[in-house]
Amino acid sequence: MRAGFLIGVLMLLAACTNTQEKRTTFTCPNGPDLVVVYEDDAATLVFPSERVERLPKSKENLYAKPGVVWQLTGFRLARLTDGQSSYSCDQMAG
């Protein structure tokens, strides 16, 4: 059920934008696995709980809004700060 919902959300995101986008999947040990859709000026994080966060691009490799920060920190590495929690995340192959 959740997989179907996530696929639907991603298809909706793809249909609503005419910008170049890149979709990747991250696993965050001790945290959520995420699907991240990058656009020219934002990143959209889709959580397994069906929560969706659209974060505007603040600067190169940094997407943020109050309470949520997504930062690419290295090759296939990122850091998610969600409220008081912070997770190191790895991009999955594929």
**What confidence score (pLDDT) does residue 93 get?**
84
Contact, 34 vs 28, CB < 8 A?
A: yes
**What confidence score (pLDDT) does residue 6 get?**
47
**What confidence score (pLDDT) does residue 10 get?**
46
* Distance (Å, whole) CA 75 – CA 5: 29
Q: What is the DSSP string of 28-82?
A: -TTS--EEEEE-SSEEEEE-TTS-EEEEEEEETTEEEETTEEEEEEETTEEEEEE
**What confidence score (pLDDT) does residue 40 get?**
93
pLDDT tens-place values along the chain, 94 residues long: 554 544 554 454 455 554 567 999 999 999 999 999 999 999 999 999 999 999 999 999 999 999 999 999 999 999 999 999 999 999 998 6
* Distance (Å, whole) CA 70 – CA 14: 20
* Distance (Å, whole) CA 43 – CA 8: 17
What pTM does this model have?
0.77
